[in-house]
Structure 1
Amino acid sequence: MLKIEDLPNLADAPLHSWLVTSIVTVLAVVLAIGVHWIGGRVLKRIARPYPLLSVILRYIDKPALFVLVIVLVELVWTEAPDTLRFILALRDGAAFALIGALTWLSVRSAAAIGEAIIQAHPLDSADNLQARRIHTQARVLARSVMIVIVIVGIGGALMTFPSVRQIGASLLASAGVAGLVAGIAARPVLGNLIAGLQIALSQPLRLDDVVVIQGEWGRIEEITSTYVTVRLWDQRRLIVPLQWFIENPFANWTKSSSQIIGTVFLHVDYRMPLTPLREELGRIVEQAPEWDRRVQVLQVTDATDRAMQLRVLVSSNDSGLNWDLRCRVREGLLVFVQTHYPQYLPRARAEVSAELEAVEGGTLDWMPKSAQAPASSTAAHSEADPVASRGERLESDPRAASARKASVADAVAATGQVSNQAKN
């Protein structure tokens, strides 16, 4: 038990007992917290006019506190004598914790720098191509740097233990084989990491780019260290590995510019005049806020057996506006044709003709030859054949022949009416 007469000895050797060491450790923690609080207040006041510096201070606030506390505690324990019980184990633990805190601080610093760069280049401008390029590079490179920092930090923390150092030294002898095995095992992870660096440097795609992947239209919403999130037009999310973009072709509508030209197809009758349609197209796009006044063209691009195909080209500043403009133009032209030229909508044509020969017992010229031949030419001329005898009796009756001619004339007249209706 501590007595009054022991205080002079404690003053001469203050850290030779756990009681004094604990008190000094607590005082060191309090001192670290106080220094962090005062320093944080001063730095935040200095950084108030600078938004980017304020972002960095906000990101590293807690990691800096842990680093400061661990550094002061480790200084206290380093001054303690080795004969103090458990002091060696505590020193190793403090070194391990210090490496972890420094790793955390480094990761947060990399993230803070990336976030500061992103905030310095907002995406809400009209032409945000350069901003999207910087966003993509900042995010991908920041994540890659953070991964490297974490790997180095874990390795450094493990090397603080003597047993791990011995294992690492023995593995260096077979580093070639170990590296080959590790490379094969971690091929997907390393492939995505390298693909992320390639995308950040060459930039085949960027954040907010409009892409078409295997028939799916969407925008690049997020680029991580392993995959890309594509926000589709119906608010679904398409998750694509980074390596896929390096190995497969895809369409990027905003690679060099967000401006785009859209198409609208219409089918009308051949008799439709094109000048009124072109005038109506000009009126529609002039009143459309989505049009950027670059392109508005109407052309005949195809002709089929039923109608001619019209293609309309209109331009906008981005794909979203262009979609709305295409719908506006399509609806406007359809309403114009329905209102002013409804007779020129696509229609089906058919023509049927027939003539009655001006001979007795006349036949239709479009009937087969076998149907035009008299029945007696292929039937036996005998009373024993009931079909032949019936045909002769019908031909010999003048009233029956007149009735047959009248029915044929009625059929021809009906056919003529159908032809006239089809022509009209």
Structure 2
Amino acid sequence: MNLEAVLHRFAPLEEMIVSLGLVFAAAAVGWLIYLAAFKGLHRFAGRTDTALDNSLVRRWRGPGRVLVPLLLIILVAPSLKFPPEVLGVLRNLISVAFIGGLAWLLVNTTFAVRDLFLNRYDVSVRDNLKARVVHTQVNVLVKILLVVIFVIALASMLMTFEKIRQVGVSLLASAGLVGIIAGFAAQRSLATLIAGIQIAITQPIRIDDVVIVEGEWGRIEEITLTYVVVRIWDLRRLVVPITWFLEKPFQNWTRISADILGTVFLYTDYTVPVEALRQELDRVLKGSQNWDGKVSGLVVTNATERSMELRALMSAADSGRAWDLRCEVREKLIDFIRRNYPESLPRVRAELKSDVPLERGLLGADPT
């Protein structure tokens, strides 16, 4: 075997080694470009006053480590000398990695814009109606956008493989019955997705709304495309399907505003001085930090054969303060009645009447 034949046999191996070196060199150059580019971007973001620049640079770092080297590898891909089957696999891997990195970049960009937008609306303040509206809309729309990005990225990845693409086209062309079955199977999922979009637009509930669901008092903690998390007052979490809020009635205490009226019911004897209780209620409310100073009053709402029902009405800035105020008023009014008018507490009266003298009734005979 002469030298020319030996060189001809090892020529493909030499081309593969050169191609591998070219791939690693492109990746290394891309990594250096990434470092230099993000160093400049970080320096530029530090000079500006906007928070968007810093947030974008911070969230673009991860995808940039993947995308920039891949871009350089894609540029040198036409010059690679690999066997056809190896080259096909390499191109598929590069395409899948690039699509995944691009989807990663879009997701992080979405999060950066969301955080910047939501930071302008603080839900921890007392009058947070507008903030809760914005948080609810943005969070639901971001979740929808993430689903769209994921579906498009996954479909694009599958389309890079010829065999999978052909199988998918064949199934779509010949699966009329399967499509109908799949449509019925996905009906509830589609209804849930549409319900999530409808919640974001119509907003019967918002983040941090106070609601009564299934007899439980709590606040809306999280709204997703499929379910809603309600934080109960004792820190339990009630997970409710999102369609529940469109199909069943529920109470929303902060639909228009956070302020709310609270009531306290007292049951007393008929002898209680109502006017004195009204004055005591005014004194208690004026000395309480939970009262917002808008509404107060005490009226007789019912009377039975045994007791009288009194209703104390008061207002508070939110439901939490209203609960504390009701407990405070109930405790102090009962104590006021106990200390000053103990005879006016609820009691059961009985009157004994008889034509027979008491002694005779007890002894069973006439004492004379």
TM-score (norm 1): 0.77
1:47 aligns with 2:22: no
| Bigger relative CO (Cα 8 Å, ≥ 6 apart) | 2
Distance 1:306 1:46, change over 3 A: farther
Provide, for residues 275-327 of structure 1, a one-character-per-residue CA deviation record: whole Å limited to 9, x for no partner. 11111111111111111111111111111111111111111111111111111
Counterparts in 2 of 1:33 and 1:143: CA distance versus 1, 3 Å: same
1:280 aligned residue: 280
Aligned to 1:70: 70
Which residue of the partner structure matches residue 319 of structure 2? 319
Match of 2:146 in 1: 146
Gaps of 5+ in 1: 1-14, 358-362, 365-402, 408-424
Aligned equivalents of 1:72 and 1:175: distance in 2?
41
Tell me how far apart the structure 2 counterparts of residues 174 and 111 of structure 1 sit (CA, whole Å). 40
| Partner deviation per Cα, 1:60-79 (whole Å, 9 max, x = no partner) | 32013212222211222233
Distance 1:129 1:332, change over 3 A: same
Counterparts of 1:77 and 1:261, CA distance in 2: 71
For the 8 Å contact 2:16–2:81, the answer to whether it is kept is no
Deviating beyond 6 angstroms after TM superposition, the runs of 4 or more aligned structure 1 residues are: none
**Quick one: distance in 1 between partners of 2:56 and 2:179?**
37
Q: Distance in 2 between matches of 1:337 and 1:53?
A: 64
- 1:108-257 pair list within 5 angstroms: 108-174=108-174, 177-257=177-257
The secondary structure found in structure 1 opposite 2:292 is coil
- CA shift in 2, pair 1:189/1:58, >3 Å: farther
What do residues 147-198 of structure 1 show as CA deviations (whole Å, max 9, x unaligned)?
1111111111101111122223223424654442222222332222111111
Letter of the aligned partner of 2:150 in structure 1? V
Query: Offset of 1:81 from its aligned partner?
Result: 4.3
Question: Which amino acid in 2 is paired with 1:32?
Answer: G
Residue 27 of structure 1 aligns with an amino acid whose one-letter code is A
Partner Cα distance (1:193, 1:60) in 2: 29
Distance 1:124 1:41, change over 3 A: farther
Q: Which residue of 2 aligns with 1:34?
A: 32
- Whether 1:98 aligns to 2:59 is no
Whole-Å Cα distance in 1 between the matches of residues 29 and 119 of structure 2? 35
Q: Is the 8 A contact 1:107 1:150 kept in 2?
A: no
Identical residues among aligned pairs (%): 42
Unaligned runs of 5+ in 2: 1-12
- C-alpha spacing 1:255/1:350, structure 2 compared with 1 (3 Å): same
Partners of 1:16 and 1:84 within 8 A in 2 = no
Q: How far 1:23 moved relative to its partner?
A: 2.6
2: CA distance, partners of 1:200 / 1:317: 26
Instruction: Give secondary structure in 1 for the equivalent of 2:300.
Output: strand
Bigger-Rg structure (1/2):
1
Q: Give the TM-score normalised by structure 2.
A: 0.88
Structure 1 pair 148/177, CA: closer, same or farther in 2 (3 Å)?
farther
